[in-house]
Structure 1
Protein backbone atom coordinates (compact mmCIF):
# COMPACT_ATOMS: atom_id res chain seq x y z
CA UNK A 1 0.00 0.00 0.00
CA UNK A 2 1.62 3.15 -1.20
CA UNK A 3 0.64 6.60 -1.47
CA UNK A 4 0.53 9.66 -6.85
CA UNK A 5 -0.55 11.61 -3.92
CA UNK A 6 1.29 14.58 -4.94
CA UNK A 7 2.41 17.17 -1.73
CA UNK A 8 4.77 20.01 -1.35
CA UNK A 9 8.22 20.69 -0.07
CA UNK A 10 8.33 24.40 -0.88
CA UNK A 11 9.53 26.43 2.16
CA UNK A 12 9.25 29.99 0.88
CA UNK A 13 8.17 31.92 -2.19
CA UNK A 14 7.94 35.62 -3.05
CA UNK A 15 4.63 37.22 -2.19
CA UNK A 16 4.07 38.04 -5.88
CA UNK A 17 3.86 34.31 -6.72
CA UNK A 18 3.15 32.24 -3.59
CA UNK A 19 2.65 33.91 -0.22
CA UNK A 20 4.12 32.47 2.96
CA UNK A 21 0.60 31.77 4.12
CA UNK A 22 -0.26 29.84 0.93
CA UNK A 23 2.92 27.83 1.10
CA UNK A 24 2.45 27.08 4.78
CA UNK A 25 -1.04 25.78 4.01
CA UNK A 26 0.32 23.57 1.23
CA UNK A 27 3.08 22.21 3.42
CA UNK A 28 0.65 21.61 6.28
CA UNK A 29 -1.68 19.71 3.93
CA UNK A 30 1.21 17.56 2.74
CA UNK A 31 2.19 16.71 6.34
CA UNK A 32 -1.43 16.11 7.33
CA UNK A 33 -2.08 13.66 4.51
CA UNK A 34 1.21 11.83 5.12
CA UNK A 35 0.45 11.55 8.86
CA UNK A 36 -3.02 10.29 7.99
CA UNK A 37 -1.60 7.59 5.73
CA UNK A 38 0.89 6.54 8.41
CA UNK A 39 -1.91 6.36 11.02
CA UNK A 40 -4.07 4.42 8.60
CA UNK A 41 -1.32 1.87 7.99
CA UNK A 42 -0.83 1.37 11.74
CA UNK A 43 -4.57 1.00 12.21
CA UNK A 44 -4.80 -1.45 9.34
CA UNK A 45 -2.07 -3.64 10.84
CA UNK A 46 -3.88 -3.52 14.19
CA UNK A 47 -7.11 -4.60 12.51
CA UNK A 48 -5.35 -7.52 10.81
CA UNK A 49 -3.90 -8.66 14.14
CA UNK A 50 -7.27 -8.36 15.85
CA UNK A 51 -8.90 -10.25 13.00
CA UNK A 52 -6.41 -13.09 13.42
CA UNK A 53 -7.18 -13.27 17.14
CA UNK A 54 -10.92 -13.34 16.54
CA UNK A 55 -10.50 -16.03 13.90
CA UNK A 56 -8.57 -18.16 16.37
CA UNK A 57 -11.30 -17.68 19.00
CA UNK A 58 -14.00 -18.62 16.51
CA UNK A 59 -12.15 -21.76 15.50
CA UNK A 60 -11.76 -22.68 19.17
CA UNK A 61 -15.51 -22.35 19.73
CA UNK A 62 -16.21 -24.37 16.62
CA UNK A 63 -13.87 -27.17 17.70
CA UNK A 64 -15.29 -27.22 21.22
CA UNK A 65 -18.89 -27.40 20.04
CA UNK A 66 -18.03 -30.07 17.48
CA UNK A 67 -16.47 -32.18 20.22
CA UNK A 68 -19.68 -31.87 22.23
CA UNK A 69 -21.78 -32.85 19.24
CA UNK A 70 -19.61 -35.84 18.40
CA UNK A 71 -19.50 -37.11 21.97
CA UNK A 72 -23.19 -36.93 22.82
CA UNK A 73 -25.06 -36.94 19.51
CA UNK A 74 -27.39 -34.56 21.29
CA UNK A 75 -27.46 -31.19 19.55
CA UNK A 76 -28.89 -29.64 22.68
CA UNK A 77 -25.47 -30.02 24.29
CA UNK A 78 -24.44 -27.03 22.19
CA UNK A 79 -25.34 -24.61 24.91
CA UNK A 80 -27.04 -21.33 24.28
CA UNK A 81 -24.05 -19.50 25.72
CA UNK A 82 -21.61 -21.29 23.43
CA UNK A 83 -23.76 -20.57 20.39
CA UNK A 84 -24.01 -16.89 21.34
CA UNK A 85 -20.25 -16.60 21.78
CA UNK A 86 -19.66 -18.22 18.41
CA UNK A 87 -22.14 -15.88 16.74
CA UNK A 88 -20.50 -12.81 18.30
CA UNK A 89 -17.06 -13.91 17.19
CA UNK A 90 -18.24 -14.47 13.64
CA UNK A 91 -19.97 -11.09 13.60
CA UNK A 92 -16.82 -9.36 14.83
CA UNK A 93 -14.86 -11.03 12.07
CA UNK A 94 -17.30 -9.74 9.48
CA UNK A 95 -16.99 -6.18 10.83
CA UNK A 96 -13.19 -6.32 10.81
CA UNK A 97 -13.20 -7.70 7.29
CA UNK A 98 -15.39 -4.82 6.13
CA UNK A 99 -13.19 -2.17 7.78
CA UNK A 100 -10.02 -3.71 6.40
CA UNK A 101 -11.54 -3.93 2.93
CA UNK A 102 -12.52 -0.25 2.98
CA UNK A 103 -9.08 0.88 4.15
CA UNK A 104 -7.36 -1.27 1.56
CA UNK A 105 -9.61 0.08 -1.19
CA UNK A 106 -8.82 3.69 -0.28
CA UNK A 107 -5.06 3.12 -0.15
CA UNK A 108 -5.10 1.06 -3.34
CA UNK A 109 -6.90 3.83 -5.21
CA UNK A 110 -4.39 6.38 -3.98
CA UNK A 111 -1.45 4.18 -5.03
CA UNK A 112 -3.11 3.54 -8.40
CA UNK A 113 -3.39 7.28 -9.07
CA UNK A 114 0.29 7.80 -8.28
CA UNK A 115 1.38 4.84 -10.43
CA UNK A 116 -0.77 5.97 -13.35
CA UNK A 117 0.69 9.46 -13.12
CA UNK A 118 4.30 8.26 -13.19
CA UNK A 119 3.56 5.92 -16.09
CA UNK A 120 1.85 8.69 -18.05
CA UNK A 121 4.65 11.16 -17.45
CA UNK A 122 7.45 8.77 -18.34
CA UNK A 123 5.60 7.61 -21.42
CA UNK A 124 4.73 11.11 -22.60
CA UNK A 125 8.04 12.78 -21.81
CA UNK A 126 9.98 9.80 -23.11
CA UNK A 127 13.38 11.32 -22.41
CA UNK A 128 16.47 9.38 -21.41
CA UNK A 129 18.39 12.46 -20.44
CA UNK A 130 20.48 12.70 -17.24
CA UNK A 131 19.40 16.35 -17.01
CA UNK A 132 15.74 15.35 -16.69
CA UNK A 133 14.58 13.17 -13.80
CA UNK A 134 11.13 11.86 -12.87
CA UNK A 135 10.84 10.60 -9.30
CA UNK A 136 8.21 9.77 -6.72
CA UNK A 137 8.65 10.82 -3.11
CA UNK A 138 5.93 10.04 -0.58
CA UNK A 139 3.31 9.73 -3.29
CA UNK A 140 4.18 13.01 -5.02
CA UNK A 141 5.70 13.08 -8.53
CA UNK A 142 8.66 15.37 -9.22
CA UNK A 143 10.07 16.32 -12.63
CA UNK A 144 13.50 17.94 -12.23
CA UNK A 145 15.01 19.75 -15.23
CA UNK A 146 18.56 21.11 -15.25
CA UNK A 147 18.76 24.83 -15.93
CA UNK A 148 21.08 24.35 -18.91
CA UNK A 149 18.06 22.93 -20.75
CA UNK A 150 15.88 25.85 -19.73
CA UNK A 151 17.83 29.10 -19.42
CA UNK A 152 21.10 30.77 -20.25
CA UNK A 153 23.32 31.70 -17.31
CA UNK A 154 21.73 34.45 -15.23
CA UNK A 155 18.72 34.61 -17.56
CA UNK A 156 15.05 33.81 -17.05
CA UNK A 157 14.09 33.56 -20.73
CA UNK A 158 12.91 30.01 -21.49
CA UNK A 159 14.86 28.36 -24.32
CA UNK A 160 13.25 26.76 -27.37
CA UNK A 161 14.62 23.36 -26.33
CA UNK A 162 12.93 23.70 -22.96
CA UNK A 163 9.60 24.46 -24.62
CA UNK A 164 9.74 21.07 -26.31
CA UNK A 165 10.14 19.33 -22.95
CA UNK A 166 7.48 21.47 -21.29
CA UNK A 167 5.05 20.72 -24.13
CA UNK A 168 5.17 17.01 -23.23
CA UNK A 169 4.61 17.76 -19.56
CA UNK A 170 1.73 20.10 -20.44
CA UNK A 171 0.05 17.37 -22.47
CA UNK A 172 -0.02 15.04 -19.48
CA UNK A 173 -1.33 17.77 -17.19
CA UNK A 174 -3.99 18.83 -19.68
CA UNK A 175 -5.14 15.22 -20.03
CA UNK A 176 -5.61 15.00 -16.24
CA UNK A 177 -8.17 17.63 -15.16
CA UNK A 178 -7.74 16.82 -11.47
CA UNK A 179 -3.98 17.47 -11.42
CA UNK A 180 -2.17 20.57 -10.20
CA UNK A 181 1.48 21.58 -10.74
CA UNK A 182 3.90 23.59 -8.65
CA UNK A 183 6.89 25.01 -10.53
CA UNK A 184 9.94 25.52 -8.26
CA UNK A 185 12.99 27.51 -9.26
CA UNK A 186 16.36 26.63 -7.66
CA UNK A 187 19.74 28.38 -7.99
CA UNK A 188 23.30 27.71 -6.84
CA UNK A 189 24.88 29.80 -4.07
CA UNK A 190 26.69 32.27 -6.33
CA UNK A 191 25.27 35.71 -5.42
CA UNK A 192 23.20 37.18 -8.23
CA UNK A 193 24.36 40.58 -9.39
CA UNK A 194 21.42 42.93 -9.26
CA UNK A 195 20.43 44.41 -12.60
CA UNK A 196 17.82 46.76 -11.24
CA UNK A 197 15.00 44.32 -11.93
CA UNK A 198 16.20 41.27 -10.05
CA UNK A 199 17.88 41.81 -6.69
CA UNK A 200 19.19 38.38 -5.73
CA UNK A 201 18.86 34.62 -6.16
CA UNK A 202 15.40 34.71 -4.63
CA UNK A 203 14.24 36.98 -7.42
CA UNK A 204 15.97 34.88 -10.05
CA UNK A 205 14.50 31.58 -8.85
CA UNK A 206 10.98 32.96 -8.74
CA UNK A 207 11.31 34.79 -12.05
CA UNK A 208 12.40 31.57 -13.72
CA UNK A 209 9.42 29.80 -12.19
CA UNK A 210 6.96 32.42 -13.45
CA UNK A 211 8.60 32.33 -16.91
CA UNK A 212 7.89 28.60 -17.14
CA UNK A 213 4.35 29.10 -15.85
CA UNK A 214 3.76 31.66 -18.60
CA UNK A 215 5.01 29.21 -21.25
CA UNK A 216 2.70 26.50 -19.88
CA UNK A 217 -0.31 28.82 -19.85
CA UNK A 218 0.25 31.17 -22.79
CA UNK A 219 1.90 28.79 -25.25
CA UNK A 220 0.80 25.32 -24.15
CA UNK A 221 -2.76 25.88 -22.98
CA UNK A 222 -2.46 24.75 -19.35
CA UNK A 223 -5.21 26.13 -17.12
CA UNK A 224 -3.59 28.84 -14.91
CA UNK A 225 -5.75 27.74 -11.98
CA UNK A 226 -3.83 24.44 -11.92
CA UNK A 227 -0.40 26.08 -11.59
CA UNK A 228 1.62 27.44 -8.66
CA UNK A 229 4.84 29.43 -9.13
CA UNK A 230 7.50 29.30 -6.41
CA UNK A 231 11.20 30.05 -5.91
CA UNK A 232 13.60 28.48 -3.40
CA UNK A 233 16.79 30.40 -4.19
CA UNK A 234 19.91 28.39 -3.24
CA UNK A 235 18.62 26.99 0.05
CA UNK A 236 17.61 23.46 -1.05
CA UNK A 237 20.72 22.16 -2.86
CA UNK A 238 20.98 18.61 -4.13
CA UNK A 239 24.72 18.55 -3.42
CA UNK A 240 27.31 20.85 -1.89
CA UNK A 241 28.07 23.95 -3.99
CA UNK A 242 31.80 23.18 -3.97
CA UNK A 243 32.52 22.44 -7.64
CA UNK A 244 31.27 23.81 -10.97
CA UNK A 245 29.62 20.45 -11.67
CA UNK A 246 27.77 20.47 -8.36
CA UNK A 247 26.67 24.06 -8.84
CA UNK A 248 25.25 23.05 -12.22
CA UNK A 249 23.28 20.22 -10.57
CA UNK A 250 21.79 22.62 -8.05
CA UNK A 251 20.66 25.06 -10.75
CA UNK A 252 17.41 23.42 -11.72
CA UNK A 253 13.66 23.77 -12.01
CA UNK A 254 11.44 21.21 -10.37
CA UNK A 255 7.85 20.62 -11.42
CA UNK A 256 5.77 19.01 -8.68
CA UNK A 257 2.76 17.17 -10.09
CA UNK A 258 0.00 16.73 -7.52
CA UNK A 259 -3.12 14.67 -8.24
CA UNK A 260 -6.14 15.76 -6.26
CA UNK A 261 -6.70 12.66 -4.15
CA UNK A 262 -8.60 14.29 -1.29
CA UNK A 263 -11.52 11.94 -1.88
CA UNK A 264 -9.32 8.95 -1.09
CA UNK A 265 -7.97 10.54 2.07
CA UNK A 266 -11.55 11.38 3.05
CA UNK A 267 -12.45 7.71 2.76
CA UNK A 268 -9.53 6.77 4.98
CA UNK A 269 -10.34 9.48 7.50
CA UNK A 270 -13.98 8.38 7.76
CA UNK A 271 -12.93 4.79 8.44
CA UNK A 272 -10.43 5.92 11.06
CA UNK A 273 -13.14 7.94 12.83
CA UNK A 274 -15.53 4.98 12.77
CA UNK A 275 -12.95 2.72 14.34
CA UNK A 276 -12.10 5.30 17.00
CA UNK A 277 -15.67 5.26 18.31
Structure 2
Protein backbone atom coordinates (compact mmCIF):
# COMPACT_ATOMS: atom_id res chain seq x y z
CA UNK A 1 0.00 0.00 0.00
CA UNK A 2 2.76 2.41 0.95
CA UNK A 3 4.75 1.43 -2.11
CA UNK A 4 1.86 2.62 -4.32
CA UNK A 5 1.70 5.98 -2.55
CA UNK A 6 5.32 6.92 -3.31
CA UNK A 7 5.10 6.54 -7.12
CA UNK A 8 1.88 8.45 -7.12
CA UNK A 9 3.54 11.34 -5.39
CA UNK A 10 6.46 11.28 -7.78
CA UNK A 11 4.11 11.31 -10.76
CA UNK A 12 2.26 14.24 -9.31
CA UNK A 13 5.52 16.12 -8.82
CA UNK A 14 6.61 15.38 -12.36
CA UNK A 15 3.40 16.63 -13.82
CA UNK A 16 3.69 19.86 -11.93
CA UNK A 17 6.11 22.26 -13.50
CA UNK A 18 7.61 25.24 -11.86
CA UNK A 19 7.01 24.22 -8.30
CA UNK A 20 8.23 26.62 -5.63
CA UNK A 21 11.46 25.57 -3.90
CA UNK A 22 10.04 25.37 -0.50
CA UNK A 23 7.21 23.23 -1.77
CA UNK A 24 9.71 21.01 -3.54
CA UNK A 25 11.72 20.58 -0.39
CA UNK A 26 8.59 19.74 1.51
CA UNK A 27 7.68 17.14 -1.05
CA UNK A 28 11.21 15.73 -1.01
CA UNK A 29 11.11 15.54 2.78
CA UNK A 30 7.79 13.82 2.63
CA UNK A 31 9.20 11.40 0.03
CA UNK A 32 12.17 10.56 2.22
CA UNK A 33 9.87 10.05 5.17
CA UNK A 34 7.81 7.54 3.28
CA UNK A 35 10.94 5.82 2.01
CA UNK A 36 12.18 5.48 5.53
CA UNK A 37 8.83 4.22 6.68
CA UNK A 38 8.80 1.70 3.85
CA UNK A 39 12.31 0.49 4.68
CA UNK A 40 11.43 0.30 8.35
CA UNK A 41 8.30 -1.68 7.55
CA UNK A 42 10.29 -4.07 5.36
CA UNK A 43 12.90 -4.46 8.09
CA UNK A 44 10.22 -5.22 10.68
CA UNK A 45 8.63 -7.76 8.38
CA UNK A 46 11.98 -9.45 7.82
CA UNK A 47 12.69 -9.44 11.54
CA UNK A 48 9.31 -10.97 12.24
CA UNK A 49 9.90 -13.66 9.66
CA UNK A 50 13.32 -14.47 11.17
CA UNK A 51 11.80 -14.53 14.68
CA UNK A 52 9.04 -16.83 13.46
CA UNK A 53 11.62 -19.20 12.02
CA UNK A 54 13.61 -19.08 15.25
CA UNK A 55 10.51 -19.80 17.32
CA UNK A 56 9.75 -22.79 15.14
CA UNK A 57 13.28 -24.07 15.63
CA UNK A 58 13.11 -23.53 19.42
CA UNK A 59 9.74 -25.26 19.62
CA UNK A 60 11.13 -28.24 17.68
CA UNK A 61 14.12 -28.57 20.04
CA UNK A 62 11.92 -28.40 23.13
CA UNK A 63 9.61 -30.95 21.60
CA UNK A 64 12.53 -33.33 21.01
CA UNK A 65 13.76 -32.76 24.54
CA UNK A 66 10.32 -33.48 25.97
CA UNK A 67 9.99 -36.59 23.82
CA UNK A 68 13.34 -37.79 25.15
CA UNK A 69 12.20 -36.99 28.69
CA UNK A 70 8.97 -38.92 28.16
CA UNK A 71 10.92 -41.85 26.76
CA UNK A 72 13.28 -41.75 29.73
CA UNK A 73 10.36 -41.57 32.17
CA UNK A 74 8.65 -44.43 30.35
CA UNK A 75 11.78 -46.55 30.61
CA UNK A 76 12.08 -45.68 34.31
CA UNK A 77 8.41 -46.55 34.86
CA UNK A 78 8.89 -49.91 33.15
CA UNK A 79 11.94 -50.66 35.32
CA UNK A 80 10.08 -49.64 38.47
CA UNK A 81 7.11 -51.78 37.49
CA UNK A 82 9.38 -54.76 36.98
CA UNK A 83 11.00 -54.12 40.38
CA UNK A 84 7.56 -53.84 41.97
CA UNK A 85 6.41 -57.10 40.46
CA UNK A 86 9.61 -58.78 41.65
CA UNK A 87 9.11 -57.43 45.17
CA UNK A 88 5.44 -58.46 45.10
CA UNK A 89 6.38 -62.02 44.13
CA UNK A 90 9.02 -62.12 46.87
CA UNK A 91 6.52 -60.78 49.40
CA UNK A 92 3.95 -63.42 48.47
CA UNK A 93 6.62 -66.11 48.73
CA UNK A 94 7.65 -64.91 52.20
CA UNK A 95 4.00 -64.63 53.23
CA UNK A 96 3.37 -68.22 52.17
CA UNK A 97 6.43 -69.41 54.11
CA UNK A 98 5.25 -67.48 57.17
CA UNK A 99 1.75 -68.98 56.98
CA UNK A 100 3.23 -72.44 56.58
CA UNK A 101 5.42 -71.91 59.65
CA UNK A 102 2.47 -70.59 61.63
CA UNK A 103 0.35 -73.57 60.58
CA UNK A 104 3.10 -76.01 61.56
CA UNK A 105 3.60 -74.24 64.89
CA UNK A 106 -0.16 -74.26 65.51
CA UNK A 107 -0.35 -77.99 64.82
CA UNK A 108 2.55 -78.62 67.17
CA UNK A 109 0.94 -76.50 69.89
CA UNK A 110 -2.38 -78.30 69.45
CA UNK A 111 -0.63 -81.65 69.62
CA UNK A 112 1.21 -80.64 72.79
CA UNK A 113 -1.99 -79.32 74.34
CA UNK A 114 -3.82 -82.53 73.49
CA UNK A 115 -0.98 -84.60 74.93
CA UNK A 116 -0.99 -82.48 78.08
CA UNK A 117 -4.76 -82.85 78.42
CA UNK A 118 -4.49 -86.63 78.03
CA UNK A 119 -1.76 -86.83 80.64
CA UNK A 120 -3.73 -84.59 82.97
CA UNK A 121 -6.77 -86.85 82.54
CA UNK A 122 -4.63 -89.93 83.20
CA UNK A 123 -3.20 -88.34 86.35
CA UNK A 124 -6.71 -87.40 87.51
CA UNK A 125 -7.89 -90.95 86.96
CA UNK A 126 -4.91 -92.27 88.92
CA UNK A 127 -5.70 -89.87 91.72
CA UNK A 128 -9.35 -90.95 91.70
CA UNK A 129 -8.30 -94.60 91.83
CA UNK A 130 -5.94 -93.85 94.70
CA UNK A 131 -8.67 -92.05 96.63
CA UNK A 132 -11.03 -94.95 96.00
CA UNK A 133 -8.40 -97.37 97.25
CA UNK A 134 -7.97 -95.26 100.36
CA UNK A 135 -11.72 -95.33 100.92
CA UNK A 136 -11.79 -99.10 100.42
CA UNK A 137 -8.85 -99.54 102.76
CA UNK A 138 -10.53 -97.45 105.43
CA UNK A 139 -13.75 -99.45 105.01
CA UNK A 140 -11.87 -102.72 105.31
CA UNK A 141 -10.05 -101.55 108.39
CA UNK A 142 -13.37 -100.53 109.91
CA UNK A 143 -14.86 -103.93 109.07
CA UNK A 144 -11.87 -105.70 110.59
CA UNK A 145 -12.17 -103.54 113.71
CA UNK A 146 -15.86 -104.48 114.02
CA UNK A 147 -15.06 -108.16 113.62
CA UNK A 148 -12.30 -107.94 116.19
CA UNK A 149 -14.64 -106.14 118.56
CA UNK A 150 -17.20 -108.90 118.09
CA UNK A 151 -14.51 -111.49 118.83
CA UNK A 152 -13.48 -109.72 121.97
CA UNK A 153 -17.10 -109.50 123.06
CA UNK A 154 -17.47 -113.25 122.53
CA UNK A 155 -14.33 -113.86 124.57
CA UNK A 156 -12.17 -114.92 121.61
CA UNK A 157 -8.78 -113.42 120.95
CA UNK A 158 -8.33 -111.62 117.62
CA UNK A 159 -5.49 -113.94 116.80
CA UNK A 160 -7.91 -116.89 116.54
CA UNK A 161 -10.08 -115.13 113.96
CA UNK A 162 -11.58 -117.75 111.64
CA UNK A 163 -9.44 -120.55 113.10
CA UNK A 164 -10.88 -124.01 112.75
CA UNK A 165 -9.65 -127.58 112.59
CA UNK A 166 -11.54 -128.05 109.35
CA UNK A 167 -10.38 -126.99 105.90
CA UNK A 168 -10.54 -123.25 105.10
CA UNK A 169 -13.73 -121.96 103.49
CA UNK A 170 -13.83 -121.00 99.84
CA UNK A 171 -13.87 -117.26 99.13
CA UNK A 172 -17.45 -116.00 98.85
CA UNK A 173 -18.96 -119.10 100.47
CA UNK A 174 -22.12 -118.50 102.46
CA UNK A 175 -21.33 -121.27 104.91
CA UNK A 176 -20.98 -119.84 108.42
CA UNK A 177 -17.50 -120.48 109.83
CA UNK A 178 -17.28 -122.06 113.21
CA UNK A 179 -16.76 -119.89 116.31
CA UNK A 180 -18.20 -116.75 114.54
CA UNK A 181 -21.40 -115.06 115.56
CA UNK A 182 -24.08 -114.04 113.07
CA UNK A 183 -23.04 -110.38 113.26
CA UNK A 184 -19.42 -111.33 112.68
CA UNK A 185 -20.33 -113.37 109.63
CA UNK A 186 -22.51 -110.53 108.33
CA UNK A 187 -19.64 -108.05 108.68
CA UNK A 188 -17.33 -110.51 106.97
CA UNK A 189 -19.69 -110.96 104.04
CA UNK A 190 -20.14 -107.20 103.65
CA UNK A 191 -16.38 -106.80 103.63
CA UNK A 192 -16.00 -109.49 100.97
CA UNK A 193 -18.72 -108.00 98.77
CA UNK A 194 -17.20 -104.55 99.11
CA UNK A 195 -13.79 -105.89 98.13
CA UNK A 196 -15.10 -107.59 94.98
CA UNK A 197 -17.29 -104.67 93.93
CA UNK A 198 -14.32 -102.30 94.40
CA UNK A 199 -12.50 -104.27 91.74
CA UNK A 200 -15.52 -103.99 89.43
CA UNK A 201 -15.85 -100.21 89.94
CA UNK A 202 -12.12 -99.45 89.83
CA UNK A 203 -12.23 -98.82 86.08
CA UNK A 204 -15.00 -96.21 86.37
CA UNK A 205 -14.53 -92.54 87.36
CA UNK A 206 -14.82 -91.91 91.07
CA UNK A 207 -17.09 -88.95 90.38
CA UNK A 208 -19.71 -91.25 88.82
CA UNK A 209 -19.84 -93.98 91.46
CA UNK A 210 -19.54 -94.34 95.22
CA UNK A 211 -19.65 -97.20 97.71
CA UNK A 212 -20.34 -96.81 101.43
CA UNK A 213 -20.69 -99.28 104.31
CA UNK A 214 -23.72 -98.57 106.49
CA UNK A 215 -23.54 -100.26 109.86
CA UNK A 216 -22.32 -103.82 109.88
CA UNK A 217 -24.85 -105.35 107.49
CA UNK A 218 -25.41 -102.91 104.61
CA UNK A 219 -23.44 -101.67 101.63
CA UNK A 220 -24.74 -98.79 99.49
CA UNK A 221 -23.52 -98.54 95.89
CA UNK A 222 -24.41 -95.28 94.11
CA UNK A 223 -24.28 -95.18 90.30
CA UNK A 224 -24.66 -91.97 88.31
CA UNK A 225 -27.17 -91.73 85.49
CA UNK A 226 -24.38 -91.50 82.90
CA UNK A 227 -23.00 -94.91 83.92
CA UNK A 228 -26.22 -96.74 83.13
CA UNK A 229 -28.22 -94.75 80.62
CA UNK A 230 -27.97 -92.40 77.67
CA UNK A 231 -31.54 -91.11 77.85
CA UNK A 232 -32.16 -91.33 81.59
CA UNK A 233 -34.40 -94.42 81.42
CA UNK A 234 -33.33 -97.34 79.25
CA UNK A 235 -30.09 -99.11 80.15
CA UNK A 236 -27.42 -98.68 77.46
CA UNK A 237 -24.83 -101.37 76.56
CA UNK A 238 -22.22 -99.87 78.89
CA UNK A 239 -24.72 -99.88 81.75
CA UNK A 240 -25.66 -103.49 80.98
CA UNK A 241 -21.99 -104.47 81.14
CA UNK A 242 -21.61 -102.81 84.55
CA UNK A 243 -24.76 -104.44 85.95
CA UNK A 244 -23.64 -107.81 84.59
CA UNK A 245 -20.39 -107.50 86.56
CA UNK A 246 -22.23 -106.45 89.72
CA UNK A 247 -24.67 -109.34 89.36
CA UNK A 248 -21.73 -111.70 88.87
CA UNK A 249 -20.44 -110.72 92.32
CA UNK A 250 -23.78 -110.78 94.13
CA UNK A 251 -24.79 -114.18 92.75
CA UNK A 252 -22.09 -115.74 94.95
CA UNK A 253 -23.76 -114.54 98.16
CA UNK A 254 -27.00 -116.32 98.87
CA UNK A 255 -27.63 -114.26 102.00
CA UNK A 256 -27.41 -110.96 100.13
CA UNK A 257 -30.55 -109.02 99.23
CA UNK A 258 -30.62 -105.94 96.98
CA UNK A 259 -32.81 -102.86 97.23
CA UNK A 260 -32.75 -100.91 93.95
CA UNK A 261 -33.68 -97.23 94.46
CA UNK A 262 -34.21 -94.77 91.63
CA UNK A 263 -33.92 -90.98 92.04
CA UNK A 264 -35.04 -88.03 89.90
CA UNK A 265 -34.30 -84.30 89.90
CA UNK A 266 -36.78 -81.55 90.66
CA UNK A 267 -36.99 -80.14 87.14
CA UNK A 268 -40.57 -79.02 86.55
CA UNK A 269 -41.55 -79.57 90.18
CA UNK A 270 -43.99 -82.39 89.31
CA UNK A 271 -43.70 -84.80 92.23
CA UNK A 272 -45.86 -87.52 90.65
CA UNK A 273 -43.90 -87.44 87.41
CA UNK A 274 -40.61 -87.55 89.33
CA UNK A 275 -41.85 -90.54 91.35
CA UNK A 276 -42.83 -92.39 88.17
CA UNK A 277 -39.51 -91.60 86.47
CA UNK A 278 -37.45 -92.73 89.46
CA UNK A 279 -39.51 -95.93 89.79
CA UNK A 280 -39.09 -96.73 86.10
CA UNK A 281 -35.34 -96.18 86.44
CA UNK A 282 -35.14 -98.62 89.35
CA UNK A 283 -37.29 -101.20 87.55
CA UNK A 284 -35.05 -101.07 84.46
CA UNK A 285 -31.93 -101.63 86.56
CA UNK A 286 -33.56 -104.48 88.52
CA UNK A 287 -34.70 -106.13 85.30
CA UNK A 288 -31.12 -106.21 84.06
CA UNK A 289 -29.93 -107.76 87.34
CA UNK A 290 -32.58 -110.47 86.99
CA UNK A 291 -31.47 -111.10 83.42
CA UNK A 292 -27.93 -111.60 84.71
CA UNK A 293 -28.87 -114.23 87.31
CA UNK A 294 -30.10 -112.43 90.42
CA UNK A 295 -33.18 -114.08 91.87
CA UNK A 296 -36.26 -111.81 91.78
CA UNK A 297 -36.96 -112.89 95.38
CA UNK A 298 -33.72 -111.13 96.39
CA UNK A 299 -34.70 -107.84 94.75
CA UNK A 300 -36.83 -104.95 95.95
CA UNK A 301 -37.53 -101.88 93.79
CA UNK A 302 -38.30 -98.37 94.99
CA UNK A 303 -38.54 -94.86 93.58
CA UNK A 304 -38.01 -91.76 95.70
CA UNK A 305 -38.74 -89.06 93.13
CA UNK A 306 -36.85 -85.89 94.01
CA UNK A 307 -37.32 -86.18 97.78
CA UNK A 308 -33.81 -87.49 98.57
CA UNK A 309 -31.35 -85.24 96.68
CA UNK A 310 -27.62 -85.32 97.28
CA UNK A 311 -27.34 -81.64 96.36
CA UNK A 312 -29.65 -78.64 96.15
CA UNK A 313 -27.78 -77.09 93.24
CA UNK A 314 -29.53 -76.14 90.02
CA UNK A 315 -26.74 -76.66 87.50
CA UNK A 316 -26.80 -79.54 85.04
CA UNK A 317 -24.02 -81.26 86.97
CA UNK A 318 -26.01 -80.99 90.21
CA UNK A 319 -29.20 -82.25 88.58
CA UNK A 320 -27.35 -85.24 87.13
CA UNK A 321 -25.97 -86.08 90.57
CA UNK A 322 -29.53 -86.28 91.87
CA UNK A 323 -30.67 -88.50 88.96
CA UNK A 324 -28.88 -91.55 90.32
CA UNK A 325 -29.53 -95.22 90.99
CA UNK A 326 -28.62 -96.86 94.28
CA UNK A 327 -28.10 -100.51 95.14
CA UNK A 328 -28.47 -101.11 98.87
CA UNK A 329 -27.01 -104.56 99.59
CA UNK A 330 -28.03 -106.17 102.86
CA UNK A 331 -26.61 -109.41 104.27
CA UNK A 332 -28.49 -111.55 106.77
CA UNK A 333 -26.45 -114.28 108.42
CA UNK A 334 -27.99 -116.54 111.08
| TM-score normalised by the chain length of structure 1 | 0.52
Say yes or no: does 1:187 pair with 2:264. yes
Ranges in structure 2 where 5+ consecutive residues have no aligned partner: 1-140, 156-178
Q: Residue 182 of structure 1: CA displacement?
A: 0.8
Q: Compare relative contact order (CA 8 Å, sep 6+) and give the higher one, 1 or 2.
A: 1
More helix as a share of residues: 2
Q: What is the deviation of 1:133? A: 1.4
Partner in structure 2 of residue 148 of structure 1: 226
Map 1:1-277 → 2, pairs under 5 A: 105-129=181-205, 130-139=207-216, 140-153=218-231, 155-191=232-268, 200-218=273-291, 220-261=292-333, 263=334
How far did residue 107 of structure 1 move? Answer: 4.2
Q: CA contact under 8 A between 1:3 and 1:107: conserved in structure 2?
A: no
- Return the TM-score normalized by structure 2: 0.44
Deviation above 4 Å: which 4+ runs of structure 1? Answer: 1-4, 103-107
RMSD across aligned positions (CA): 3.2
- CA distance in structure 1 between the partners assigned to 2:269 and 2:283 by the alignment: 18
Aligned-residue offset at 1:104:
8.2
Partner-residue secondary structure (3-state), 1:200: helix
**Structure 1: segments with no counterpart, 5+ residues:** 5-36, 48-102, 264-277
Equivalent residue of 2:254, what SS? coil
Shift in alpha-carbon separation, 1:150–1:162, aligned structure 2, 3 A: same
* C-alpha deviation, 1:3, in angstroms: 7.0
1:110 Cα deviation after fit: 3.2
Q: Which SS does the other structure have where 2:251 is aligned?
A: helix
* Count of aligned pairs between the two proteins: 166
SS at match of 1:221: coil
TM superposition shift of 1:165: 0.6
C-alpha distance in 1, partners of 2:204/2:229? 20
With over 3 angstroms needed to count, the CA separation of the structure-2 counterparts of 1:169 and 1:246, relative to structure 1, is same
List per-residue Cα deviations over 1:42-76 (Å, max 9, x = no partner): xx6xx9xxxxxxxxxxxxxxxxxxxxxxxxxxxxx
- Quick one: distance in 1 between partners of 2:238 and 2:294? 19
Contact 1:188/1:233 (CA < 8 Å) preserved in 2? yes
- Contact 2:186–2:332 (CA<8 Å) still a contact in 1? no
Shift of 1:128: 3.8
Secondary structure of residue in 1 paired with 2:314: coil
User: Which of these two proteins has the greater Rg computed from alpha carbons?
Assistant: 2
Local SS of the residue matching 2:250: helix
Q: Is the 8 A contact 2:201 2:209 kept in 1?
A: no
> In terms of mean alpha carbon deviation, does 172-181 or 122-131 score higher?
122-131
Give 1:216 shift. 1.3
Partner Cα separation in structure 2 for residue 111 and residue 2 of structure 1 = 10
Give the drift of 1:138.
1.8
Looking at structure 1, the residues matched to 270 and 328 of structure 2 have their Cα atoms a distance apart, in angstroms, of 28
Q: Which moved more, 1:252-261 or 1:116-125?
A: 116-125
Is the contact made by 2:186 and 2:331 (CA closer than 8 Å) also made in structure 1? no
Q: Secondary structure at the match of 1:175?
A: coil
